[in-house]
Structure 1
Amino acid sequence: MINTPIKTSQRVFEILEAFEDTQRPMALKEFVDVLGYPASSASALLKSLVALGYLDYDRVSRTYMPTMRVASLGNWVHSALFGEGEVLTLMQGLSEACGETITLAVQSDLFVQYVYLIPSRLPIWYSIPIGMTRPIAQSGIGWLMLGLRSDEDIDLIVRRVNFREQLASKRVSLDTLLPEIQKGRRNGFIISQHTLEHGAGSIAMLLPEKRFGRVFAIGVHGPVERLDAKCEDILEQLRSGIAML
C-alpha cells in the first residue's frame, strides 16, 4: 500500500522546485513543457500562487517569479536543524576530513528522510538528494533509530513497513533485522553496506539531542571499499564531534 500525494499539492511543490532548478523567472510554457501539465491547469495554479503572494507575474515578459514570501517560509528551519551551527560545523569537518557524502537524517514516521547533505568531493556513481526518503527498516540509519524503540514497537513498525511494500522481495524479516538493530545499540553506531544499492555503504551515529521531539542522525556515505579503508578515522571523528555538541 503506497500513499500518493494529492495532485494539486504535488504540483505546487514541483513548480517551486522548478524555480530552484532554473533559478530565474519562468513562463507558463516552460512549466507545461518541463512538468507536462495541461496548459489550463498550470495557468490556474500559477495564478492562484500569485493571488496568495507566493509568486509575482510580469506582464511584459509574461514570466513568474517566487516572492520573498517563499524564501521566508523556511528561515527558521536552519536554526531548528543546526542550532547555533554546531551540527553544520561537525558535518563540514567530516566532509573536509574524509571527502565523502555527509548527510543529516531524521525519522519521519515509517521513513528516514535526508534533510541536509554535503556532497562527496570524491568520485561516486549514485546520489542522495535532499528530501529523499527510505523505509526505516531498510536503511542503516533507520536501524539506529529503531534501536531507540522496544522490540515490541519494532515488530509493529516492521509489520507496517511490510504492509506498505508492494514488492515481496523488499519486505523485511524481523529475524534478520533485530540482530542489526541490537548491534547498533551495543556499538552506538551502524555500518551498513549494499542497502541503498550494491557497492554503496554508510557509517552513522545518532545525535544526542532530540530537536522538536525528532530523532536525528549523521551519516557518512560512499563506496564500501573507501569507507572500509577509513572506517576507524570516521568513527573517531563522529564520536569526538558528537561529544562536543
Structure 2
Amino acid sequence: MNNDVKSAGRILELLELLARASEPLTLRQIVAELDYPKSSAFNLLQTLVSRGYAVREEPERYRLNEACRSGPGWTSGRDAQLIAIAQPILQKLRDDTGESTFLGVPSPGRRVKTIAKCVSKQTIRYDSELAGSFPSYCSAIGRVLLAALEPRLIDEYLASERLVKHTDYTVVDRGEIRRIIAETRSLGYSISDQEVEIGGSGLAAPVHDLTGKVVGALNVAVVTARFAMNRDRIIDALLQCAREFDLRNGFKGEIPAIEQR
C-alpha cells in the first residue's frame, strides 16, 4: 500500500473515531486508540483542524466539528478557514460571558446559517443545531450582515423576504427594520431580544476578511433572564473577541465607532 492510500485510510479512521467519541479526545487517547505514531496523528489532526473538519479545544483536545455531524455538512474553502479561526475565539467568548456562542455567515437569499458553536456550560442555556438557515431581519447575526450591504440591496431583501412574527417581540415593520439596521451599522453590534424565540436573546458583531469586507458575525446567545444584568459585559466581551478574530484573519483596519450605550 502506497503512502497516499495509507494516509487517506488514516484520515478516515481518525474522522470515524472523532465521530464516535462522546467528548473531546486528547492526542494521547487518539494515539492509543488508533496505534498511530504520535507525530503522524498530530499532523493529521492539524490538517483536519485547518480544513474545518475537526476542532481543537484547550487544553489540547480534539473533537469533530458539529457541522459535520448534524449541521449543514462537510466544510471547505472560506467556511473551513473561518471555522478554524473562530473556534478558539468562540470558546474564549463562551468562557468570558458564560453563554453559548456561534459563528454565522450569509446563506442564499440573504439568510443566515451558523457554521460553528461553543455551548454554554450552565445548566440552563441556549443551544441550536448547526442546520438549515434562518431569516436575517429579526436575528442579531442577520442584522449585522444586512448592515454591511448597500441600501439598494437592503431594500431588495426587505421587498422579497416574507416578514413573519415569530414571537410577540418580532419587528416586522420595514421602516423600523431599516432603522435597526442603521443603528447596527453605527454601533458596530446588534441585539435581537426574544424576536426569534421566547426566552432567548442574541447579540452579534461583524468579523472581516483582510480587505475589511464583512464575512460573518460572532454571536452570543443569552438566556433572556440573564440578559439585562449582563448586557454591557457581554457587549464588551463580544467586541473584543470580534476584534481578535479580525486580527487573526488579517484585518488590521479601524473598527466602527461605538456610540454611548
TM-score category by the smaller chain? 0.5 to 0.7
Match of 1:225 in 2: 225
Question: 2:171 touches 2:195 (CA, 8 Å); kept in 1?
Answer: no
Q: What is the CA–CA distance in structure 2 between the aligned matches of 1:150 and 1:224, rounded to whole Å? A: 32
Match of 2:116 in 1: 116
| Residue 198 (str. 1) matches residue 202 (str. 2) | no
Structure 2 unaligned residues grouped into runs of 5+: 1-15, 22-67, 248-261
Match of 2:33 in 1: none
In the alignment, residue 185 of structure 1 is paired with which amino acid?
R
Match of 1:90 in 2: 89
Match of 1:101 in 2: 100
Q: What is the CA–CA distance in structure 2 between the aligned matches of 1:139 and 1:179, rounded to whole Å? A: 14
CA displacement at 1:87 relative to structure 2? 2.2
TM-score by length of 2: 0.57
CA displacement at 1:152 relative to structure 2? 2.3
Match of 1:184 in 2: 184
Structure 1 unaligned residues grouped into runs of 5+: 1-18, 25-69
SS at match of 2:159: helix
Question: 1:158 touches 1:172 (CA, 8 Å); kept in 2?
Answer: no
Q: What is the CA–CA distance in structure 2 between the aligned matches of 1:75 and 1:132, rounded to whole Å? A: 14
Q: Higher Cα Rg: structure 1 or 2? A: 1
Q: What is the CA–CA distance in structure 2 between the aligned matches of 1:226 and 1:193, rounded to whole Å? A: 12
4+ long deviations beyond 6 Å: none
Question: 1:106 touches 1:113 (CA, 8 Å); kept in 2?
Answer: yes
Give the aligned CA root-mean-square deviation in angstroms. Answer: 3.4
Matches within 5 A, 1:96-175: 96-110=95-109, 111-124=111-124, 127-162=127-162, 172-175=172-175
CA displacement at 1:175 relative to structure 2? 1.0
Match of 1:81 in 2: 82
In the alignment, residue 134 of structure 1 is paired with which amino acid?
F
Q: What is the CA–CA distance in structure 2 between the aligned matches of 1:224 and 1:96, rounded to whole Å? A: 18
Q: Which moves more between the two structures, 229-238 or 200-209?
A: 229-238
In the alignment, residue 198 of structure 2 is paired with which amino acid?
H
In the alignment, residue 106 of structure 2 is paired with which amino acid?
Q
Question: 1:210 touches 1:216 (CA, 8 Å); kept in 2?
Answer: no
Cα distance per residue 1:131-159 (max 9 Å; x no partner): 24211222121111111112222111012
Distance 1:160 1:149, change over 3 A: same
Q: What is the CA–CA distance in structure 2 between the aligned matches of 1:175 and 1:183, rounded to whole Å? A: 12
TM-score by length of 1: 0.60
SS at match of 2:114: strand
Q: What is the CA–CA distance in structure 2 between the aligned matches of 1:91 and 1:182, rounded to whole Å? A: 26
